[in-house]
Structure formats: C-alpha cells, structure tokens
C-alpha cells in the first residue's frame, strides 16, 4: 500500500535559544530534519513537511535536497492536530496510509519504522501509535491503556492526573493512519485542554468513538524516540548516534582505536581492516576503502571518497575529494575539491588552494597517478599535475605541469658569511 508522510517541523524550539530553526540544527553537519526525511526514504512516496517558525529557511533546505518533499505552512501554530490538518487538502483523494513523524527525531531508524508499519498491517489497524518505555517520562505524553491492555488514549503531560503521570509508557510522536478512515478526525478536533490547542493525540479518542481499530506499537530501543528541544539534547543525540555508528563499524571489521575520542557520521562507509586513530572527526557523507589508516587528529568534512590502502594522517583535512588507492597524506595538509590518483605521496604542509575570495568560486586540483608533492607546497587551483611528476618542497604551483617532470619554484639560497657575528 502506498504511504505518504506528514512531518511536523513548525515549532519554534525556544529552548535552543537560536536564530536558526530547531530542525535545521546539525548533527555531523547534517540538519535534524534531514535525518527524519532520510528515515522515510524507502518507505514513503511523498513527504509533507509542516513549517512555521523560520519557514523560509526550512522550505529552502527541504525543497533543495528532497525531490519527493514539499513544505506546507502552518500559521498560526495552533497545535499538532492543526499542523497535520494543513496537509489535508493535499491528501483529499489519497487512499493509502499516512505516517506522521515529529521533525526533531534524528535517531529514528527506517528499520524501526518498517517494523511499526508491519505491526500496523498485521493487526489490521486503522490507527497505530508508536510508544516506548522510559524510566523518566518527564514531559512526554503518557500512553494510557484499557484494562485489557489495549490502547485507550494519550494524555499530554500537562493534562495528566497524578496516577497517569506515574505511567512510564510514552508517546513517541509517530502515527500510522489508514487515511480514508481517519482524515475526517482533523476537521472535528477541539481545543478542550490546558493549552487551548488542537492535539493530534485526540484522534485516538475519535477513532475509538467511531469504532475503528486502534493499536500501540512499543518501540524496543527507546533511544530512537529521543527528541531535540535544547542544545543539551542535541549533544546527547549526537553521542548516541556516534556510539551506534562506531559499534556498527567495529562489528563489521573496522578498528576504532579509541571510541571515546572518535566521531564518525552515520552516512560514512568504511571498509574492513581500516584503522581509525584517536581524535578523528568524520562528518557528512564519505566512503573509505579497505586497509586504510585515518588519523590521529584527521578531519574529513564530507563528500570524500578514499580508495583502499590509503593513509590520511595527523592534522590532515579533506573535503569534497576523491583519493585513489595507495595514496598517502601523512601530516599537516589540506586537500579540498581535489581528485588524486593512486600511489601519490603528499608531503607535510601541502595545501590545495581551492578558493578564490574575489570571485567566491572554488576550483579543482587534479593529481595524476604516481605524483610526489614535496613539503610546504601550495597548489593553486585550477591546476593539474601529470602522471609521475615531482613537485619540489616549498613550491607554489599556479600552472598545469605535464607527465614525469619536476616542478619547482624556489628563490636562490643566499649565504652571508659572518653576518651574525657582525650584528
């Protein structure tokens, strides 16, 4: 059955204390909302992102990066139920299922969403919520069950009785609806609650009153339910994401020398027998081959492809570059917007000068196979160095050089005998 999503991303995020929309704050240089959208990648045919505060910024990011997503403005913001109703005109004739997600759940896995959908279908449910168990439910809405353990309602924390507040099963903020049966609920919600808002949770009571099949699926890993509301939340979520990525890599044959000082993005692939040394930070989307050595103190900034048997050493920064097999950049270098062949050696202190501050453009550096770059060299892009060519240490290269040559720019050495004693 076709599934579309509604993603709630209109909130202000007051506790972030920021001029940036909450859902555009980043983990490993990737906005929170991108993680949510990516979790639906193999599930939904179309996504509706409900925007409000900083709407133009969120709209620009979403529509630039996701072809199957469109933004829908909620103004004013009158609650979560009101937010979903903003998408109703776009779903008027839709006959499939709608999954509703909060836009601040970066740790939610697509695998968990698929299990949620399978559960919904196995129960022939019309409306299924996702819940989880927390030792400290804090401000989350409580899941209230009937005596037979079926779902009764969700009560927002602000509206709970003391007995309900003690419940540890909470609402994750993920719903799956058989849209044709549930859509009428959004025109019948009321504001009879402490906040005077249209609560999305009220569709459960509506469904039960209309004799619909209503269920709750318990998410096994409660970490995936972690929502971002503050800078502390953002740091904690980053730590959880990093830990599960490092564990996955180690389970698949990658050596992480010191997990406590190593940070690797969810979107980075690393081959077997590669070693990641301490204080390495890898963000963005990258692909690293087998038998490589990365770090210590290396920084990969995204869009990096590194082939097998390479070394990216201490205090080396790489971004938006492709590096061939058996190539080494051992220390204190910057490689940006570059294409490096195989069997290349990059001397210490080498810089690819890729940015022109006058025009604001970035240009490419190309090094063919077997090139050797001497220490303290600046390669001023756009520039191409032919196969087998050596560049002498301390050179500034501003023009293309052909194959098997020596490139050298160096002022003559002057020795003034006795100068120090005379001074």
Is 120 catalytic? The answer is no
Residues 97-125 have a mean pLDDT of 97
Residues 134-145 have a mean pLDDT of 90
Q: Which CATH class is domain 252-407?
A: mainly beta
**Whole-number average pLDDT of the chain:** 95
Is pLDDT of 95 > 80?
A: yes
pLDDT in the model for residue 309: 98
Q: Which two tokens stand for residue 298?
A: 């290396």
pLDDT in the model for residue 158: 83
Angle at alpha carbon of residue 242, lines to 240 and 246, rounded to 5°: 120
Is pLDDT of 149 > 90?
A: no
Cβ contact 371:389 at 8 Å: yes
Instruction: Provide, rounded to the nearest whole percent, the portion of the chain with pLDDT above 90.
Output: 89
pLDDT in the model for residue 140: 86
Residue 401 β-bridge partners: 385
Domain with CATH 3.90.550.10 in the chain: 3-225
Residue 89: pLDDT band with limits 50, 70, 90: very high
pLDDT in tens, 356-409: 999 999 999 999 999 999 999 999 999 999 999 999 999 999 999 999 999 999
Residues 174-194 have a mean pLDDT of 91
Q: What is the DSSP string of 7-63?
A: EEE----GGG-SSS-GGG-EETTEEHHHHHHHHTTTT-SEEEEEEBTBHHHHHHHHH
pLDDT in the model for residue 213: 93
Is pLDDT of 59 > 90?
A: yes
pLDDT in the model for residue 393: 97
For tokens 């969700």, what's the residue?
A: 154
Domain with CATH 2.160.10.10 in the chain: 252-407
Residue 219: pLDDT band with limits 50, 70, 90: very high
Of the candidates 181, 205, 200, which has an alpha carbon nearest to the alpha carbon of residue 126? 181
Return the number of other C-beta atoms located less than 10 Å from residue 319's C-beta: 20
pLDDT in the model for residue 423: 82
User: In the chain, what are the helix, strand and coil shares in percent, each to the nearest 5?
Assistant: 25, 30, 45
pLDDT in tens, 273-310: 999 999 999 999 999 999 999 999 999 999 999 999 99
Residue 407 β-bridge partners: 391
Catalytic residue among 120, 215, 331, 343: 331
Q: Is 32 in a helix, a strand, or coil?
A: helix
R_g of the chain computed on alpha carbons: 27
DSSP state of 135: S
CATH number of 3-225: 3.90.550.10
Residue 192: pLDDT band with limits 50, 70, 90: confident
Torsional class of 110: left (φ above 0), alpha (ψ -120 to 50), beta (otherwise): alpha
Cis peptide bond N-terminal to 272, omega within 30? no
Residues 132-146 have a mean pLDDT of 90
Angle at alpha carbon of residue 368, lines to 363 and 375, rounded to 5°: 80
Is pLDDT of 193 > 80?
A: no
pLDDT in the model for residue 148: 81
Contacts of 85 (CB under 8 A, 6+ apart): 186, 187, 189, 198
Residue 197: pLDDT band with limits 50, 70, 90: confident
Distance of CA 217 to the CA centre of its chain: 25
Residue 150: pLDDT band with limits 50, 70, 90: confident
Q: Is the pTM of this model over 0.75?
A: yes
* Cα distance between residue 89 and residue 100, in whole Å: 16
pLDDT in tens, 315-359: 999 999 999 999 999 999 999 999 999 999 999 999 999 999 999
pLDDT in the model for residue 146: 85
């Amino acid at each position: 059955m076709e599934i579309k999503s509604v993603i709630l991303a209109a909130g202000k995020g007051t506790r972030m204390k920021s001029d940036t929309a909450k859902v555009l704050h980043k983990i490993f240089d990737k906005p929170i909302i991108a993680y949510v959208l990516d979790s639906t990648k193999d599930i939904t045919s179309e996504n509706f992102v409900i925007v409000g505060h900083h709407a133009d910024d969120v709209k620009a990011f979403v529509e630039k990066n996701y072809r199957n997503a469109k933004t829908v403005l909620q103004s004013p913001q009158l609650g979560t139920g009101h937010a979903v109703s903003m998408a109703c005109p776009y779903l008027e004739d839709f006959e499939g299922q709608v999954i509703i997600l909060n836009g601040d759940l970066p740790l939610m896995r697509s695998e968990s969403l698929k299990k949620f959908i399978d559960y919904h279908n196995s129960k022939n449910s019309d409306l299924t919520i996702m819940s989880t168990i927390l030792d400290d439910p804090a401000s989350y809405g409580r899941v209230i069950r009937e005596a037979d353990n079926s779902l009764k309602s969700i009560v927002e924390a602000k509206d709970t009785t003391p007995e309900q507040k003690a419940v540890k099963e909470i609402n994750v903020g993920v719903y799956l609806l058989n849209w044709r049966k549930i859509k009428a609920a959004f025109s019948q919600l009321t504001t009879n609650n402490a906040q005077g808002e249209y609560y999305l949770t009220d569709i459960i009571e509506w469904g039960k009153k209309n004799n619909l099949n209503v269920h709750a699926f318990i998410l096994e890993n409660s970490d995936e339910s972690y929502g971002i509301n503050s800078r502390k939340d953002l740091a904690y979520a980053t730590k959880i994401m990093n830990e599960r990525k490092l564990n996955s890599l180690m389970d698949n044959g990658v050596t992480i020398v010191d997990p406590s000082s190593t940070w690797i993005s969810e979107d980075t692939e690393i081959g077997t027998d590669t070693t990641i040394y301490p204080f390495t930070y890898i963000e963005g989307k990258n692909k690293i081959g087998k038998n490589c050595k990365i770090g210590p103190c290396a920084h990969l900034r995204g869009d990096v492809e590194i082939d097998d048997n390479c070394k990216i050493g201490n205090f080396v920064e790489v971004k938006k570059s492709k590096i061939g097999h058996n190539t080494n950049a051992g220390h204190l270098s910057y490689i940006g917007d570059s294409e490096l062949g195989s069997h290349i050696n990059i001397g210490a202190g080498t810089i690819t000068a890729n940015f022109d501050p006058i025009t604001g453009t970035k240009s490419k550096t190309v090094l063919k196979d077997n090139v050797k770059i001497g220490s303290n060299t600046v390669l001023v892009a756009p520039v191409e160095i032919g196969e087998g060519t050596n560049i002498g240490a301390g050179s500034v290269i501003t023009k293309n050089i052909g194959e098997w040559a020596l490139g050298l720019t160096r002022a003559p050495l002057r020795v003034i005998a006795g100068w120090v004693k005379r001074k």
